[in-house]
Amino acid sequence: MAVVVVESPAKAKTINKYLGSDYTVLASFGHVRDLPAKDGSVDTDNEFGMTWEVAADSKKHVRAIAEALKTDDTLILATDPDREGEAISWHLQEALASSLKKGKTVRRVTFNAITKSAVTEAMSKPRDVDMELVEAYLARRALDYLVGFNLSPVLWRKLPGAKSAGRVQSVCLRLIVEREMEIEAFRAREYWSVKAILETPRGQSFEARLTVLGGKKLDRFDIATEEAASLAVEAIRSRDLTVKSVEAKPASRNPYPPFMTSTLQQEASRKFGMGAKACMAAAQRLYEAGHITYMRTDGIDMAPEAVTAAREAIRARFGASYVPDSPRIYKNKAKNAQEAHECIRPTEMSAAPDDLRLTESDQKRLYDLIWKRTIASQMAAARLERTTVDVGSRDGEVELRATGQVVMFDGFLKVYDEGRDDEGEDEGRLPQIMQGEAAKKQGITPEQHFTQPPARYTEATLVKRMEELGIGRPSTYASIVTTIQDRDYVRKDKNRLIPEDKGRLVTAFLANFFKRYVEYDFTSALEAELDDISAGERDYKEVLARFWRDFSAAIAETSELRITEVLEKLDDFLAPHLYPARADGSDPRICPVCGTGKLNLKTARSGGAFIGCANYPECRYTRPISTAGGEEGMALTGDGKLLGNDPAGLPITLRTGRFGPYVQRGEASEEQPKPPRSSLPKGWSPESIDLERALMLLDLPREIGLHPEDKEKVEAGIGRFGPYVKHGSTYANLPEVDEVFTIGMNRAIEVLAQKASRGAGRGAAAKPLKELGEHPDGGAIQVMPGRYGPYVKWGKVNATLPKEIEPEAITVDQAVELVNAKASKGGKKPAKKATAKAAPKAAAKPAAKTAAKKPAAKKAPAKKTAKPKAGEADASDLGE
């Protein structure tokens, strides 16, 4: 027998089905060793020797593998087929060294898909651990440790409130901050266009836009004012128009290549608003279940047998006309061969999304996307006809153009079309138009436009930009984007990434004092060197030595920096954002309260920074950095900005305080020393607050009505942990702040029911929607409300209710069939004869014992999350 080790128990379970009883399949649960979070884990004085330790949680998994090797002579390392997978295999081999003596064999196998054929073939072609891939991993891990462990403390000391700085995350953050600065520096430019609705002699209408005026072809900004647009309208109105030319051209659109990691993340973000982390988590589960090929790849090529299977599936489903004469071959554009595996595709082309009956929403949507993209990639091109019609006056002074597009054969579009980051107008179909015939004017409309600033990054466009710049790799994209959000450097609002003040300060600090290490070219070149190591073309210790020589010198230069010196530099760097030009032309740095003090950047005791007056304490004017870009920072003085009066005549003001901007009703007095106040929710800028919005905040909590069951009040508000609905002593979070002001009773009851179902076993249990009776094997069957919809419950078995069956209509027989199927699929044995009450008690005992066994002392380290350990500052760069 042989011991096979994979990363996860889900993967182990799937592989075990294929290998049978001749193998013992165990999970390592990811990496088993890492660098200790302390100084010296990477010894820069002794050829970058690394000290590794087995993680506390991993010791039991390593022991289990060692125990299995006592009776088995062969260890087969079957971790993922990339740099990280190779590293895990190497770590396992090193950690198990004492168990691998006396002639025991260690072999490495990889497979791109967890299918019986792929696993069987891999087992027949074992090899040794690839040390070139391991050395590329070692170089990356050492770099991340050296940056995180040495740069993060500098940030903590010189920039109060800042968190860790990672090697690649810092560059990614710079992209987002610079895009925001571009938006703030943007000045809109006005321009006009003119459109006309024209009619053919047959009474059919079409739209055309003005392209020639005064005999000159128009550029975008040629009609710059309303007056110029009015003259253009008059020029069209005063002339007869005829069709000068009609040109119809055939065109075609080829399908998109199949997915690789970055394009899958981009498309999941566009189509579903799914973040990179959620996308990769769902893809991981699909891979481990054997439904798709490996999901971390730069490759877009497809195995020949998969191409053949795709063509057969297309022919069977859509007909021979949708199959091109020859297979489509996509050229791989990967920079690094080590991650240039096959594309992400279904393992079985004939397995359409409906055939798999996936119950988890993210997996179902993602598999549907992957299947459609893969099938479409081998389909025939779409055939189109593009028509251009030019209509003009006889004197040539005025000309208009109409364009249209007709799909003659949909081809791959029958299955799939890629989403767009910036949606444009699709060209419509034109009526029959003949050259030389008159075009009657039905209406002429001038339209005002303003140039738009560059769009903020979404996760999709950010990943795309990182890929273009060569920053990061497939295994790191998700963790990079997630980490900068987790550190509160960036927030996501309506799927757009917006830098927080903390993120701006960190970027400004690094750009001033560590400029080289946040340069795009430098980071990209370093990634290329890591790829060269994996290809055996560079020595990883030489790469580390060259990097450390310059980086350590840069660290040493900052040791003498004073915080005031740092703040002065940041103040100058961020000046365009902090002190925008004033409409009256006055100095934007002059305090709007005292009129003499100069505004500058200051740090708060609690961390972070704010704008304050240099005349402190005589002048106590302050404002947060985040309000810097609007209306002179909203000029929030001690008395605030008056928004208006409430119905009772009390003044409503917008102010700023120690914890940021807030609204207040009335003024402090002896009778009321603390007037009603409400902080602005996250995502609400001071510039957006008017009297109506301020009153909405001050009137919270808002009563929704009385609960239909107990007639107790249900209300919505904003609390310490965000927006919520409340019924009695039960609080349930709402996903969006704006919903607090619009939520009705039906939605509130739904949110409260979901909270109750999630809290079952921790508090008040959710009430069943329907009691169905007894299961033939004993125990009650109930229909319960759930977070993702109603489900059938029998003891420990929960089975999702199909959408086509209403909770009120389900029968006992249908419910028994559902729970039995779920029990057999999940490997759960049906409970023995027991009452409905017995099952929860039995389930509760082990949990209680486990909790009792955990010493209180062990809980303390887990809670220290305010300051990440320096050595762990960039561990998430690994993408694991």
Active site residues: 294
Burial of 681: CB neighbours in 10 Å, binned 0-12, 13-18, 19+ = middle
Token pair of 671 as six digits: 């009778």
- The full DSSP string for 476-540 is THHHHHHHHHHTTSEEEETTEEEE-HHHHHHHHHHHHHSGGGG-HHHHHHHHHHHHHHHTTSS-H
Contact 550/516 with Cβ under 8 angstroms? yes
Alpha-carbon distance 842 to 854, whole Å? Answer: 20
Beta-bridged to residue 642, according to DSSP, are 653
Beta carbons within 8 Å of 210's beta carbon, 6+ residues apart: 193, 194, 195, 196, 218, 232, 236, 398, 399, 400
Strands (E), 365-484: 382-392, 398-409, 438-450
Which of these, 581, 582, 454, 452, lies nearest to 190 by C-alpha position? 452
State the amino acid at position 351 in one-letter form.
A
Contact 498/184 with Cβ under 8 angstroms? no
Residue with tokens 């909405």: 696
Residue with tokens 């207040």: 664
Alpha-carbon distance 567 to 609, whole Å? Answer: 9
Beta carbons within 8 Å of 651's beta carbon, 6+ residues apart: 642, 644, 645, 665, 666, 667
| DSSP code of residue 760 | B
DSSP run (H or E) holding 3: strand 2-6
Contact 235/396 with Cβ under 8 angstroms? no
Alpha-carbon distance 634 to 643, whole Å? Answer: 11
Alpha-carbon distance 189 to 182, whole Å? Answer: 15
Alpha-carbon distance 462 to 460, whole Å? Answer: 5
Token pair of 89 as six digits: 């295999």
Which of these, 292, 126, 160, lies nearest to 280 by C-alpha position? 292
Alpha-carbon distance 327 to 344, whole Å? Answer: 18
DSSP run (H or E) holding 823: helix 812-825
Contact 241/393 with Cβ under 8 angstroms? yes
Q: Rounded to an integer, what is the distance from CA 557 to the centroid of its chain?
A: 36
Alpha-carbon distance 491 to 500, whole Å? Answer: 7
Contact 192/221 with Cβ under 8 angstroms? no
Alpha-carbon distance 343 to 857, whole Å? Answer: 48
Contact 483/538 with Cβ under 8 angstroms? no
Burial of 857: CB neighbours in 10 Å, binned 0-12, 13-18, 19+ = exposed
Burial of 865: CB neighbours in 10 Å, binned 0-12, 13-18, 19+ = exposed
- The full DSSP string for 317-360 is HH-GGGS-SS--------S-GGG--PPB-BSSTT--HHHHT--S
